Structure 1
Amino acid sequence: MMVLVFDLDDTLYDEITFVKSGYKAVAGWLHQHYGLDEAQVYHDLEAQLMAKGRDNAFNEVLGRYGIFSTAIVRKCLSVYRLHSPVIRLNEDAVKCLERFREYPKYIVTDGNKIVQGAKIKALDFKPDQIKKAFVTYRYGRKHSKPSPYCFLKISTLEGVSPENVIYIGDNPNKDFVGIKPLGFKTIRILQGMFKDVRKEAAYEADLNIRSLNELTEDLIRKNFNL
């Protein structure tokens, strides 16, 4: 039996949409508590994101408004992490999950367990879409990727060997290197912030695709003899 396991961020949905949703929540909080123009603050955060990425975005923007302090940055981070995100599955993900509706499907994702849990709740997976989502940090950071811990749990739950489990992820820095030696099959989707990253063979997946529209039973059987 074939079992599919998906990464979450930049695999089933675009992570940038979560970031922007969080920025809107922070902009609203800053308007409420400091009287800042909500739309302008959001615009500034988005511009900072595009120019320099997420690192220190709150520090930069708060400094621009003359209200920077470590306490306010911490509060902004809290609002960002605890907000209820407005995100949705990518269209190719919806079609892919439907295409494989007869197969067991799981998620394995790293990250803050509250943040990842909120994302999973917002995406509102149906039972025939995702059987269970594993947030690795719930089991301790030592079991985050590249640890095979959660993947082995899935193998045990389904009563299959690793050779029957296929993982689809986007990050070659950690998604595949820990599970390939155990026999898990791996597919890298070339999208998101890591799409142009190239690594040595041990870190790369067995197969690359550019969209989940390419993921079919024929592709899997042809490449993995399942």
Structure 2
Amino acid sequence: MDITVDNKTIIVFDLDDTLYNEIEFLKSAYREIAQNLEKENWPSLYIKMFSLYRNKIDVFEFIHKHYKVAKSTLITEYREHKPDIKLFEGVLETLQKIKINKGKIGLITDGRQKTQTNKIEALGLTPFLDCIVISQEIGTEKPHQNNYKILESTFGKGAYYYIGDNLKKDFITPNALGWNTIGIMDNGLNIHNDAYLYQGEKYSPKVFISSYLDLSITHER
């Protein structure tokens, strides 16, 4: 897909499972918790934790029972740890090309301010972002119109693009606002895998791409 970018182009991204796989955040947190509890044999504990998660068994209840750590402590460590996560292939090059062509970049993400900020910093996104909207900071979550209108208030008139992954909530509002919408196809690792429940024009992006290698950023008019 080709996107022509100039100083009136605003490209807005979701974060989790759009710019990286959110499961990698979970794995990063589990590794840190396991390393804190088992200095020498942490891989064995990590493997057990991840297996419990995949079988929908309460991981933190298991840790609480066997290591006498309060679940509230584990939840805080999970949410506030500094994650070891990486951008999808092609994301960095896409961001660089948008900036080279004078485009603006926004981010809309649901979650806690501390957690999402740690992810943004770990991924090296901060220097590229002209506007960041985190749901906890503004008090509304997608698909609330407020989360998207902040971008329009910030940048004014222009050609808006929204890139996301979650059919349940990502595309309803930008579609209604007349934005161009692009969906990143699930690579089999997405946390939210209930797309079959949200079919139809209301929920779907205008275009799906399988990866950022399918995007071409140009400056030609």
Q: What is the TM-score with the length of structure 1 in the denominator? A: 0.81
Q: What corresponds to 1:137 in structure 2?
A: 136
Which amino acid counterpart does residue 133 of structure 2 have in structure 1? F
User: Is 1:82 aligned to 2:77, yes or no?
Assistant: no
- How many residues align? The count is 206
Take 1:16 and 1:77, find their aligned partners in 2: how far apart are those partners?
Answer: 16
Segments of 5+ residues of structure 1 without an aligned counterpart are: none
Q: What corresponds to 2:58 in structure 1?
A: 56
Map 1:1-226 → 2, pairs under 5 A: 1-31=8-38, 37-52=41-56, 56-63=58-65, 65=66, 67=67, 72-101=70-99, 102=101, 103-125=103-125, 127=127, 129-140=128-139, 143-160=140-157, 164-191=159-186, 192-194=190-192, 197-198=195-196, 199-217=199-217
Which amino acid counterpart does residue 16 of structure 1 have in structure 2? I
Which amino acid counterpart does residue 38 of structure 2 have in structure 1? H
Which amino acid counterpart does residue 209 of structure 2 have in structure 1? I
Task: Looking at secondary structure, tell me which structure has more strand per residue.
Answer: 2
Alignment check: 8 A CA contact 1:190 1:196 kept: no
Which amino acid counterpart does residue 200 of structure 1 have in structure 2? G
Relative to structure 2, which stretch is displaced further, 77-86 or 97-106?
A: 97-106
Take 1:60 and 1:10, find their aligned partners in 2: how far apart are those partners?
Answer: 27
Which amino acid counterpart does residue 38 of structure 1 have in structure 2? W
Relative to structure 2, which stretch is displaced further, 19-28 or 167-176?
A: 19-28
Task: Looking at secondary structure, tell me which structure has more helix per residue.
Answer: 1
Instruction: State the shift of 1:61 in Å.
Output: 5.0
Instruction: State the shift of 1:39 in Å.
Output: 2.1
Take 1:85 and 1:19, find their aligned partners in 2: how far apart are those partners?
Answer: 9
Take 1:176 and 1:28, find their aligned partners in 2: how far apart are those partners?
Answer: 39
Higher RCO, 1 vs 2 (CA within 8 Å, ≥6 residues apart): 2
Instruction: State the shift of 1:89 in Å.
Output: 1.6
Alignment check: 8 A CA contact 1:189 1:210 kept: yes
Segments of 5+ residues of structure 2 without an aligned counterpart are: 1-7
Take 1:115 and 1:185, find their aligned partners in 2: how far apart are those partners?
Answer: 28
